[in-house]
Homo-oligomer: A and B are copies of this chain.
């Protein structure tokens, strides 16, 4: 381990675990990524899983740990209650829960909830959001955080005012891997390309206000049977249809002219950059990995000042 590590921070989700050791400025001194999501970790023990990963980075026994994500859910390590919107995001810091009965100082950051006629929840993205807001000094506008469950958050006066969640990524995985479309997509599910004309075609169909998504999905199968649409085309069209539906839905809710901050990394960032551009939305981009690390670092340094 690096002698300079001051905090360990982790984004612990349903299917992924990411751990970073940070110095007192928030600079990464070591990192670790694994598939130790909730189900695996529950079976083995959350504390054991965490300690194994910390040991592999040779983290000392007194290094404090801050965690965000589904580890704080009812199915996780310990439930961290939600903070309700509208919320100043620093409220999530004071709501962190400390794990009892273990030697190490480990705390889990709460999620955000929204009650009323559009109930909603998030866990993990609130920390990413905090990082993005600090990074760009955001106080208003929309923040889009695409993924398995894409989150769109409306900011006002420096607070998270309201948010919505779209099942885009999960639906893509289900349809590509488990529906009739699996015969058309097969192993190509990971080959979605923002440059593929079928991605653009799918986006444009849904952005134009088409309400026939359930019909367009089967159309992918028919195009494969009748027109030999190849697997990578089918995968790209499916992705375009779903991302287009998400963005059309968000535009319906938030208006067409809103300023968006896109928080995404890698392939996801490329796909949504293309989609937001085609939708005619003006936007700015923040790297999602950096945002969540920044949010975790802020939480760590507030909860355990150096």
Contacts and interface: CB of A to CB of B under 8 A. Distances in A.
A121 B226 contact: yes
B249 A219 contact: no
Interface in A228-261: 242, 245-246, 248-250, 252-253
A120 interface: yes
A222 interface: yes
A215 B165 contact: yes
Interface stretch (A28-36, A40-48, A57-65, A174-182): A174-182
A226 B167 contact: no
Interface stretch (A87-95, A111-119, A185-193, A270-278): A111-119
B179 A226 contact: no
Q: A-side binding surface: helix, strand, loop or mixed?
A: helix
A115 to B, nearest CB: 6
Given A219-B118, A227-B119, A213 B245 contact: yes
A214 B120 contact: no
A166 B227 contact: no
A128 interface: no
A179 to B, nearest CB: 6
A248 B210 CA distance: 10
B211 A149 contact: no
Nearest to A252: B211
A250 B215 CA distance: 9
Contacts of A183: 75
Q: Which 9 A-B pairs have the closest CB atoms?
A: A212-B249, A166-B214, A165-B218, A119-B222, A119-B226, A167-B217, A120-B222, A164-B215, A211-B252
